[in-house]
Amino acid sequence: MPTPPATAPQPPAPPIPLTELLAREDLGLRRIAGPADADLLWVHTSEMADPYPYLLGGELLLSAGVLLTDPDHYVGRLVEAGAAALGFGVRPVYEAVPEALVQACDRYGLPLLEVPPETPFTTIARAVWRLMAEARHRELRRVTRAQQALATAAARPDPVPAVLHQLATQLSGRAVLLTARGEEVHAAGRRPHPEAAAALTRLARVVARERPGSPASATDTHGDTHLAAYALGGGEGLALSLATHRREPGDHTVAGIAVVLLSLLAAPHQGADAVDRSAALVRLLLGATPAEVAPLLGPDGPWTVIHARRSDGTAPDALTAGALGASLGSALVDAGREDDDETVRVLLPATAREAPPHPGWTLGVSAPTPLSALAAADTRAARALAHAEATRTPLKVDAPVTGLAALIPPDQAAAHARTLLAPLTPPLADTLRCWLSLHGSWDRTAVALSVHRNTVRQRIGRCAELLDVDLHDMDVRTELWFALRQE
Read off the CATH number of the domain in which 367 is found.
3.30.70
Predicted local confidence at residue 153, as pLDDT: 84
Instruction: Tell me, yes or no, whether 389 lies in a domain.
Output: yes
Each residue's pLDDT, cut to its tens digit, for the chain (487 residues) gives: 334 444 445 555 678 899 999 999 999 999 999 998 899 988 999 999 999 998 989 999 999 999 999 999 999 999 999 999 999 999 889 999 999 999 999 999 999 999 999 999 999 999 998 998 888 888 888 888 888 888 888 877 778 888 899 999 999 999 988 887 778 888 899 888 888 888 888 888 888 765 555 677 888 888 888 888 888 865 457 888 899 887 777 888 888 888 878 877 775 544 445 555 556 665 655 666 666 666 666 555 578 888 888 887 777 777 777 777 777 777 677 776 555 568 888 887 755 556 777 778 888 888 888 777 777 788 888 888 888 887 778 887 776 655 555 555 556 666 776 777 788 888 888 888 888 888 888 888 888 888 898 988 998 888 888 888 888 888 888 788 777 776 6
292 with 390, same domain: the answer is: yes
Residue 86 and residue 117 share a domain: yes
* CATH number, position 436: 1.10.10.2840
Contact 30, 119 (CB under 8 A): no
Judgement on whether residues 204 and 255 belong to the same structural domain of the protein:
yes
**Domain CATH code at residue 98:** 3.40.1390.20
Task: Respond yes or no on whether the N-terminal peptide bond of residue 4 is cis (omega within 30° of 0).
Answer: no
Instruction: Tell me how far CA of residue 153 lies from CA of 3, 23, 272, 328, 355, in angstroms.
Output: 47, 39, 28, 17, 21
CATH number, domain containing residue 204? 3.30.450.30
Q: Are residues 278 and 296 in the same domain?
A: yes
Q: Where are the beta strands (DSSP E) in 4-119?
A: 16-17, 30-33, 39-40, 42-45, 59-63, 85-89, 112-115
**Statement to judge: residues 427 and 396 lie in one domain:** no
Is residue 149 domain-resident? Answer: no
pLDDT of residue 5: 40
- Burial class from Cβ neighbours inside 10 Å (0-12, 13-18, 19+) for residue 478 reads exposed
In a domain? residue 469: yes
Q: Are 261 and 162 in contact, with CB atoms under 8 Å apart?
A: no
Task: Tell whether 51 and 118 lie within a shared domain.
Answer: yes
pLDDT of residue 295: 65
**Last residue of one domain, picked from the residues 207, 238, 266:** 266
Sheet strand arrangement including 225-231: 184-188, 173-179, 238-244, 225-231, 217-222
- Give the residue from 115, 50, 54 showing the smallest Cα distance to 77: 50
Asked if 212 and 296 sit in the same domain, the reply is no
In a domain, 417, yes or no: yes
Same domain, 262 and 278: no
Question: Is 192 a member of any domain?
Answer: yes
pLDDT at 111: 96
Residue 87 phi/psi, 5° resolution?
A: -105, 120
Omega cis (within 30) before 92: yes
Q: Is residue 412 in a domain?
A: yes
262 with 201, same domain: the answer is: yes
**Overall number of domains in the chain:** 4
Phi, then psi, of 433 in degrees rounded to 5: -60, -45
For residue 487, what pLDDT is reported? 60
Alpha-carbon torsion 230, 233, 239, 242, what sign?
Answer: negative
- The answer to whether residues 28 and 90 belong to one domain is yes
Domain that holds residue 121: 16-131
In a domain, 148, yes or no: no
Examine the domain organization and report whether 310 and 262 are in the same domain: no
* 8 A C-beta contact, residue 21 and residue 131: yes
pTM of the model: 0.53
Domain boundary among 266, 294, 323: 266
Q: Is residue 342 part of a domain?
A: yes
Domain boundary among 211, 235, 266: 266
Structure confidence by residue, pLDDT tens digits, 392-431? 788 877 766 555 555 555 566 667 767 777 888 888 888 8
Residues 105, 195 share a domain: no
